[in-house]
Amino acid sequence: MAGLLERIERAQRRRRLERKLLYGCVAGLILIAALAAVYFFAPETMEDVAVVRVEGEILTGDFSNGAYVGSEYVGRTIREAAENPLITAIVLRIDSPGGSPAAAQEIVRDLEYARERKPVVASMGDLAASAAYLIAAHTDRIYLSPDTMTGSIGVIWLFTDESRWMKNEGKEVEVVKSGEQKDMTSPYRPLTDAERAYAQEIVDASFEDFINDVIAQRPVERSEIANARLIRGEEAIAIGLADEVGNLFDAIRGARALASS
């Protein structure tokens, strides 16, 4: 009888051990799958560094097609990388002529969110101008090539006047509006003096915010950039708009070094 009880006890211990091993294997597989999902569905990565691409004209919205890129798309990708525990640093790869000031301002908020958590570095391609430069200014270090075109720290608002052509073609537009400036952006008439002055006020106010933000982020003199000129990469380093000559892979190495320091 004692031998039978001992055999039953051994069998029960063996089953308990088998269950523990099984549960441990299942838990390990679940953990591996979760980590793989975080890694493989993260933004484009170079091992531990996420590369977030800003390519094309910057507008508000959720899209990226090479010609245009949306602030929601860029911002979400930045935040995902910032919150991914496997990512130690972020590189913003920029090839853009600029775009909407409001869109750039939205992305800046997401960049500052990321910078509180890990280093963020900018890598400029052919072009990183105007609003695209504003984004780069809110990173920890800027890499570019000697012939990268950047700068263009300024604001522009274009108005098209087709009234002379319409008159020659015998075309007329009748407008019913609630305020005298409601149609000031329409192409069928020129701006009035009052509208022109108002548009200039808006542009000037936006420009002051823009240039003051850049000066706050970068060691550059206002006089070097106030004329809104495009600036070649080599000169951009000399005046403080950028930090170092380097391509994307140099920027990745630099971001990794910042993360480990």
Q: Domain residues of the chain, as ranges?
A: 49-152+229-260, 155-214
Please tell me the pTM assigned to this model. Answer: 0.81
Integer Rg of the chain from CA: 28
The pLDDT value given to residue 47: 78
Length of the chain: 261
- Quick check: 157 and 203 in contact, CB under 8 A? yes
CA dihedral 51→57→58→63, nearest 10 degrees, is: -70
Handedness of CA 257, 259, 260, 261 (dihedral sign): positive
The pLDDT value given to residue 35: 46
The pLDDT value given to residue 41: 40
- Among 156, 109, 116, residue whose Cα is nearest residue 135: 109
Q: Please report, for residues 81, 94, 119, 127, the alpha-carbon distance to residue 98 in angstroms, rounded to integers and kept in the order given.
A: 23, 10, 23, 9
The pLDDT value given to residue 44: 59
- Among 181, 180, 184, 188, residue whose Cα is nearest residue 161: 188
**What is the chain's pLDDT, residue by residue, as a tens digit (261 residues)?**
555 556 656 666 666 666 666 655 545 544 444 444 444 444 555 679 999 999 999 999 999 999 999 999 999 999 999 999 999 999 999 999 999 999 999 999 999 999 999 999 999 999 999 999 999 999 999 999 999 999 999 999 999 999 999 999 999 999 999 999 999 999 999 999 999 999 999 999 999 999 999 999 999 999 999 999 999 999 999 999 999 999 999 999 999 999 998
d(CA 227, CA 220) in angstroms, rounded, equals: 13
d(CA 115, CA 117) in angstroms, rounded, equals: 5
The pLDDT value given to residue 32: 47
CATH number of 49-152+229-260: 3.90.226.10
The pLDDT value given to residue 205: 98
Instruction: Calculate the average pLDDT of the chain.
Output: 90
- Quick check: 229 and 151 in contact, CB under 8 A? yes
